[in-house]
Amino acid sequence: MAENKLIRMDNVGIVVESLDNVIPFFMELGLKLEGRATIEGEWAGRVTGLGDQCVEIAMMVTPDGHSRLELSQFLSPATVSDHRTAPVNTLGYLRVMFAVEDIDEMVSRLSKHGAQLVGEMVQYQDSYRLCYIRGAEGILIGLAEQLGNK
């Protein structure tokens, strides 16, 4: 990695309808709200290609401090499409996978926030138990519990 100058993956962005609806879901998952801010103006639109924009963001960080989700609620311009109910084989970024200690307990906790299994909870050999769930606002996430030598 030193040769190609890549330092790390900084964050994954997810556009949401309401930060207030989604933040508690990701906090239940175990992420911490690192900060919340409004980003607006022509300068921001030059980065995204949207022109003049106003977006409220919430940065969520994983317990180890290495990974972040940037949740974005666009105030202007309005969102133009919605692929939250697209099947998992749809082109584009559709899910983020989280490693958890107890997948059954996590699914139970997240179901109190409206999460539903997409398919089934499955076991891959003697290595992992895995599932996809649709959480707050239909956001697709994956959960993986490592088995054996944790």
- If 0-12 CB within 10 Å is exposed, 13-18 middle and 19+ buried, where does residue 40 land? middle
Q: What is the pTM of this model?
A: 0.87
pLDDT at 87 (0 to 100): 83
Tokens read off for 130? 């895995």
At residue 149, does pLDDT exceed 70? no
Confidence of residue 2 (pLDDT cuts 50, 70, 90): low
Tokens 């022509």 locate to 42
CB 72 within 8 A of CB 56: yes
Q: Provide the Cα torsion 111, 115, 116, 121; round to 10°.
A: -70
